[in-house]
């Protein structure tokens, strides 16, 4: 391959920047001048703006990896290792993973080699057909995260089923397959998302599917037991992709730091500036709700903003609501609220402190928390009867609720 390689970064189909790999395994990121000079430019990320909202344009090179914003577009953990093996590259060579996966990324981004540069041969026996198959097979797993999931399209012939495209590109649904470690995770998430919608949170369409209702699954996946979960993608619309970014991207932290580099208070501070009063109230609803159900995995990547007008950030619809305490006993939230991570200590006083430090008015924060607890109490008994909540999940949540300061106070 050439000593210097360039990937184009496209936002809503327009080239706005480049990622350049230079000798020494260093990656340079640079915005194009037309994007810099455009006063109406669409927002790529809040992390590329200073405290006054001005675009940052001076970036240091990154060794081996790509800058944090782009690293957060890639899958994590064992899934990344699996994908890298299929692509024939090291899982730390993020530039090449972006090259392979860049055609169907979260949001309105696409990344492709400049001037049609060919995917490099990774061994002496590589030919173009082998490289094409490797790219296609890998792309089908391209969505960020650690869970095995795919982008899929409607399949009217399956009576409401879905099809995973052969080339891995396109689709307005995300399909999450059953967990190999824990029973009933799709049913758990479907139930928690449905309950959140009943309580008034903004939730995308969700549905449970039998595995045989999904066409195009890769070889070996049909052996997984249980139902899968389909979630309508809120970063896709009838007129094209809608840009989003998660809060690991907003704060410019590496994916592996999603549990430790920021807090709920930091997220609330950003939303207070960017999303206004309703965005903050929705954030408090979700923060309280996930505490009530015992979701100990609401890390930075499980909160996102969306750019519906291409420029202004608002809180994106909810996702990844799962009662994790049903599988792993844990009394600590994924990130700090403000002073504590202990869920039982998340109290009205902690909320008042969060509001003060995030420069938010106290009354709507506290009132929203009280209202969410009250609505949860009203809806939970019926939810246990009408949603596919396993008895052990319901029992774990019931026991958890008795420990929470917020429940006794509100």
> Can you give the residue ranges of every domain in the chain?
5-139, 149-237, 243-409
% of the chain beyond a pLDDT of 90: 69
Residue 280 — pLDDT band, cuts 50, 70, 90?
very high
Q: Are 366 and 354 in contact (CB under 8 A)?
A: no
How far does the chain reach from its first CA to its final CA, in angstroms?
63
SS3 390: coil
Residue ranges in 142-209 assigned as alpha helix (H): 185-199
For residue range 253-274, list pLDDT tens digits in order. Answer: 999 999 999 999 999 999 999 9
Please write the tens of the pLDDT for every residue from 30-68: 999 999 999 999 999 999 999 999 999 999 999 989 999
Share of the chain above pLDDT 70, in %: 89
What count of Cα atoms within 13 Å lies in the side-chain half-sphere of residue 323?
30
Position 167 scores a pLDDT of 58
Look up 330 and say whether it is catalytic: no
pLDDT tens-digit map of 92-102: 889 988 888 88
What mean pLDDT is predicted for residues 275-294?
A: 97
Binned at pLDDT 50, 70 and 90, residue 165 comes out as confident
**Which one has a higher pLDDT value, 26 or 85?**
26
Banded pLDDT at 330 (limits 50, 70, 90): very high
CA separation for the pair 368, 361 (Å, rounded) = 12
pLDDT at 158: 58
Q: What angle do CA 308, 314, 317 make, to 5 degrees?
A: 85
State residue 128's pLDDT score.
56
What local confidence, expressed as pLDDT, does residue 124 receive?
Answer: 45
**pLDDT confidence of residue 133:** 54
Residue with tokens 């019926």: 382
Q: Supply the pLDDT for residue 194.
A: 98
- Contact between 242 and 308 under an 8 Å Cβ cutoff? The reply is yes
Question: Residue range 324-333: average pLDDT?
Answer: 94
The mean predicted confidence, pLDDT, of the chain is 89
Distance CA 337, CA 60 (A): 32
Dump pLDDT digits (tens) for 370-402. 999 999 999 999 999 999 999 999 999 999 999
Dihedral sign for Cα 61, 62, 67, 73, please: positive
Determine the average pLDDT of the residues in 117-127: 55
85 pLDDT band, cuts 50/70/90, is confident
Report the distance separating Cα 410 and Cα 403, nearest Å.
Answer: 13
pLDDT of residue 91: 80
pLDDT tier, 169 (very low <50, low <70, confident <90, very high otherwise):
low
Q: Return the pLDDT at 88.
A: 75
Among 205, 257, 297, 330, the active-site one is 297
Give the contacts of 277 (CB within 8 A, at least 6 positions apart): 361, 364
At residue 155, the pLDDT reads 75
User: What b-and-e string marks burial along 366-376, b requiring 16 or more CB atoms within 10 Å of the CB?
Assistant: bebbbbbbebb
Interior/surface letters 117-154, b for 16+ CB within 10 angstroms, e for the rest: eebeeeeeeeeeeebeebbbbbbbbbbbbebbbbbbee
pLDDT at 180: 80
pLDDT for the residue 332? 97
Residue 340 confidence (pLDDT) above 80: yes
CATH of domain 243-409: 1.10.1070.20
The residue among 138 and 324 whose pLDDT is bigger is: 324
Q: Among the listed ranges 49-63, 119-133, 220-234, which one has the minimum average pLDDT value?
A: 119-133
Angle between helices 276-292 and 264-274 (to 10 degrees): 150
Instruction: With cut-offs at 50, 70 and 90, classify the pLDDT of residue 141.
Output: very low
């Amino acid at each position: 391959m050439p000593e210097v390689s360039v990937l184009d970064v496209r936002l809503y189909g327009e080239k706005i920047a480049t990622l350049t790999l230079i000798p020494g395994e260093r990656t340079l990121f640079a915005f194009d001048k037309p994007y810099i000079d455009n006063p109406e430019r669409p927002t790529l990320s809040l992390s590329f703006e200073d405290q006054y909202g001005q675009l940052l344009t001076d970036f240091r090179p990154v060794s081996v990896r790509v800058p944090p914003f782009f690293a957060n577009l890639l899958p994590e953990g064992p899934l990344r290792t699996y994908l890298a093996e299929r692509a024939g590259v090291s899982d730390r060579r993020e530039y090449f993973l972006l090259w392979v996966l860049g055609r169907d990324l979260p949001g309105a981004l696409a990344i492709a080699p400049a001037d049609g540069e060919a995917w490099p041969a990774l061994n002496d026996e590589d030919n173009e057909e082998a490289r094409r198959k490797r790219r296609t097979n890998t792309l089908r797993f391209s969505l960020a995260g650690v869970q095995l999931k795919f982008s899929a399209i409607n399949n009217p012939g399956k009576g409401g089923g879905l099809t995973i495209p052969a080339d891995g590109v396109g689709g307005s649904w995300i399909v999450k397959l059953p967990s190999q470690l824990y029973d009933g995770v799709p049913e758990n998430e479907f139930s928690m998302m449905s309950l959140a919608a009943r309580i008034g949170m903004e939730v995308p369409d969700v549905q449970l599917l039998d595995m045989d209702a999904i066409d195009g699954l890769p070889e070996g996946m049909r052996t997984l037991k249980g139902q899968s979960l389909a979630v309508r993608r809120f970063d896709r619309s009838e007129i094209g992709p809608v840009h989003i970014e998660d809060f690991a991207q907003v704060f410019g932290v590496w994916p592996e730091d999603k549990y430790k580099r920021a807090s709920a208070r930091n997220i609330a501070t950003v939303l207070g500036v960017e999303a206004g009063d309703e965005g903050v109230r929705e954030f408090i609803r979700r923060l309280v709700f996930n505490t009530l159900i015992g979701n100990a995995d609401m890390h930075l990547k499980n909160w996102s903003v969306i750019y519906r007008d291409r420029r202004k950030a608002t809180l994106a619809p909810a996702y990844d609501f799962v009662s994790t305490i049903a599988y792993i006993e844990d009394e600590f939230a994924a990130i700090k609220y403000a002073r504590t991570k202990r869920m039982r200590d998340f109290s009205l006083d902690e909320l008042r402190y969060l509001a003060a430090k995030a420069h938010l008015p106290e009354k709507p924060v506290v009132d929203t928390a009280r209202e969410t607890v009250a609505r949860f109490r009203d809806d939970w008994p019926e939810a246990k009867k009408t949603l596919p909540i396993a008895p052990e999940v319901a029992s774990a949540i019931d026991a958890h609720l008795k420990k929470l300061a917020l429940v006794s106070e509100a």
